[in-house]
Amino acid sequence: MLPIALGRATRLIPYIPDKRKAYAFTLVLGRATSTGDAGGDVIETVDVPSDARVRLEAVLDKFIGRVEQIPPMFSALKIDGQRLYKFARSGETIERKPRAITIYALTVLGSDDPTTFRLRVACSEGTYVRTLAEDLARAIDTVGHVGALLREASGPFVLSESLTLDEVAADPIGALTPPESVIAIPTVVLDGRGSVDFRAGRIVAMREPVGDTHVFVRDMTRMLVGVGEMHGTMLAPRKVFV
């Protein structure tokens, strides 16, 4: 699942407050790969404990909360202006600093065989599920990699409400989601003079303050003209759609 913002809506992405992600994935134990997933070369094999599921469920709580991860070499993270995966493809290993992430929930959904387990994780942005899988495997005295990965949610967007590319192509307008249904901030409607001033980048005096700092701004035709920031009863333009 991949949320896509089009045109001027790309300017609203910073106002999406919830950056959490949710994934379903398979953890394949006993084999470590160069990329941390099924697409890489096997670089290490280790026996899988016969009680792997019991051990796995016993260590899950240790991964819940604020933890640190070392980003994998096969990632788009930049170091010295270069993507890590470019170093990795040339055979170089670069020192990476641990990064703080948050795991909100982590559960075992089931197993396909004694070495393959299905899990679900809810996590903060910046979490690498491949690294999580490797760390889980090490915690139960073996190695592992991600066999399959499915993003089920990204912030307010969920897989069950997503559309396939064919569905989007069949009804492009119907596939669009209004920004107000994604970004939970109030809407104010300006009169003719107010909307002209707002579009020109001028501060607009409101009759009364609005509770939230940021607000959607529409004109009297209900056209979205931008996002403003409230300072008492003064509305300052922050994003203006001309």
Residue type for 185, please? I
Domain boundary residue, one of 96, 122, 157 = 157
Which CATH number covers residue 223?
2.30.130.10
CB 206 within 8 A of CB 189: no
Are residue 39 and residue 140 in the same domain, yes or no?
Answer: yes
Q: What digits encode the pLDDT tens for the residues 114-140?
A: 999 999 999 999 999 999 999 999 999
d(CA 132, CA 134): 5
Give the orientation angle of helix 52-59 with respect to helix 129-139, to 10 degrees: 120
pTM for the model stands at 0.82
230: Cβ–Cβ under 8 A, 6 or more apart, which residues? 206, 209, 210, 212, 213, 214, 215, 236
Which CATH number covers residue 147?
3.30.2350.10
Helix, strand or coil, per DSSP, at residue 47: coil
d(CA 111, CA 131): 20
Chain centre to alpha carbon of residue 184: 18
Are residue 23 and residue 72 in the same domain, yes or no?
Answer: yes
Which range marks the domain in which residue 28 is found?
17-157
Q: What is the mean pLDDT of residues 161-181?
A: 91
Are residue 231 and residue 153 in the same domain, yes or no?
Answer: no
Q: What digits encode the pLDDT tens for the residues 89-119?
A: 888 888 888 999 999 999 999 998 999 999 9
Are residue 140 and residue 190 in the same domain, yes or no?
Answer: no
216: Cβ–Cβ under 8 A, 6 or more apart, which residues? 179, 180, 183, 185, 186, 187, 188, 224, 226, 227
Residue type for 238, please? R
| Number of structural domains found in the chain | 2
Q: What digits encode the pLDDT tens for the residues 224-234?
A: 999 999 999 99
The β-bridge relationship of strands 116-123 and 21-29 is antiparallel
Residue type for 206, please? M
d(CA 65, CA 63): 7
Are residue 143 and residue 23 in the same domain, yes or no?
Answer: yes
What value, to the nearest 5°, has the Cα angle with vertex 6 and ends 4 and 7?
155
| Banded pLDDT at 7 (limits 50, 70, 90) | confident
Are residue 148 and residue 30 in the same domain, yes or no?
Answer: yes
The pLDDT of residue 242 is above 80: no
